[in-house]
Amino acid sequence: MGTENRITINPDGTLNVPDKPRIPFIEGDGIGPEIWQAACQVIDAAVEKAYAAQKKIAWLEVLAGEKAFNKTGNWLPDETLADIEKHAVAIKGPMTTPVGKGIRSLNVTIRQVLDLYACVRPVKYIKSVPSPVKDPQSVNMVIFRENTEDLYAGIEYQSGSPDADKVRRFLNEQMGTNLPADAGIGIKPISATNTKRLVARAIAYALDNGFSSVTLMHKGNIMKFTEGAFAHWGYEVAAEKFKDQTITEAELRDDYQGKQPQGKVVIKDRIADMLFQQVLLRPNEFGVIATPNLNGDYLSDALAAQVGGLGMAPGANIGDQCAVFEATHGTAPKYAGLDKVNPSSLILSGAMMLDHMGWREASRLMRDALQAAIEAKTVTYDLARQIRDAKQLKCSEFGQAIIRHMG
């Protein structure tokens, strides 16, 4: 297999996408195979409808999760990571990590090994989807969550272990803390390097996609040298790399009398707990939100609830060398094999993937057809029980309904 069918990345971060690229996929565990089958068919149909025979994806299955373990004895083979990195773009279903068996989260491992430092989660309301809020159509935000450090860095020491005792003694004796002997300990690293590259990507996205602001989410009033530093470094990188394209909220008020100049993105920051309130009460004030790892995990799921839940929420993990698009929900093992669940998260992640590749005609077809299927009240069980007079479809049938709405 030569490089002619691989997506490659230029030094400036742009992609070289052949007309018939080979793209790795991981079908996932639990409900993964069912939603992947539906999503794959929708993606292929959209590409064919948009480009006829000119473009087509050559899918390459790579193994991870239970299927990988059953076939190779390894939950995440090195070959899988190498294939994803080599092909620059991949897509995956949900994966499980066995609890209590000493196996690190497969999703976290993929992000850290491949340095996929930006977890990107668009949250936009799709018409006719049931929502718990009064004005869901005002929700149109994109979360950029730092993906490699913070409390998710995996630097933890179990209560009562020799390592925990060693760290506790050092902190108590050398740093003046007073940790109890039975404390479990976790380390929260947040660095200038990783913060700045995350925020720079968020600002570039806002500029490229017409968003008016980037909000830096943090709890810097309490954690001054980690989350407070995140906000400080965010403002720094805006001034360093986007000086002529950004202004601060203070500059907007003092220099522009509150009227945002055309072509400028406003950089602002919000305390995390305050932001949780404001995205509910005043969602139209926020566009792109950049956040440390833990805050972003909470916020992205909370925002997804406003537009129909994780079943309607796409996501991607993106780095400088490759990007992995994924379903944002879990494996739902009790529904595995029932052909029942909503595949929209993975379908919309596939549309994100096509956007990333520059195939926007096909991604637009996917989103429009998905919305048309929902407006026609032909939906899976999770939406059918909330929509009056809806026709309940199986997972596979919903995928076919979307394809029919492509015309």
Helix runs in 73-141, H state only: 78-87, 106-113
Only one residue has tokens 């997506």, namely: 7
DSSP one-letter string for 24-90? EEE--STTHHHHHHHHHHHHHHHHHHHHTTS---EEEE---THHHHHHHS-SS-HHHHHHHHHHSEE
- Which residue of the set 67, 92, 219, 264 is catalytic? 219
- Which residue of the set 117, 125, 152, 381 is catalytic? 152
Residues 327, 328, 333, 338: is their CA dihedral positive or negative? Answer: negative
Phi, psi of 372, rounded to the nearest 5 degrees: -65, -40
Instruction: Lay out the sheet containing 213-218: strands in order across.
Output: 58-61, 22-26, 89-92, 323-327, 314-318, 118-124, 140-146, 288-291, 213-218, 265-271, 246-248
- Which residue of the set 19, 254, 273, 320 is catalytic? 273
User: Is 219 tagged catalytic?
Assistant: yes
Distance between CA atoms of 121 and 368, rounded to whole angstroms?
19
User: Is 297 tagged catalytic?
Assistant: yes
Check: CB of residue 353 under 8 Å from CB of residue 322: no
- Which residue of the set 297, 340, 355, 381 is catalytic? 297
Which residue numbers are catalytic? 152, 219, 273, 297
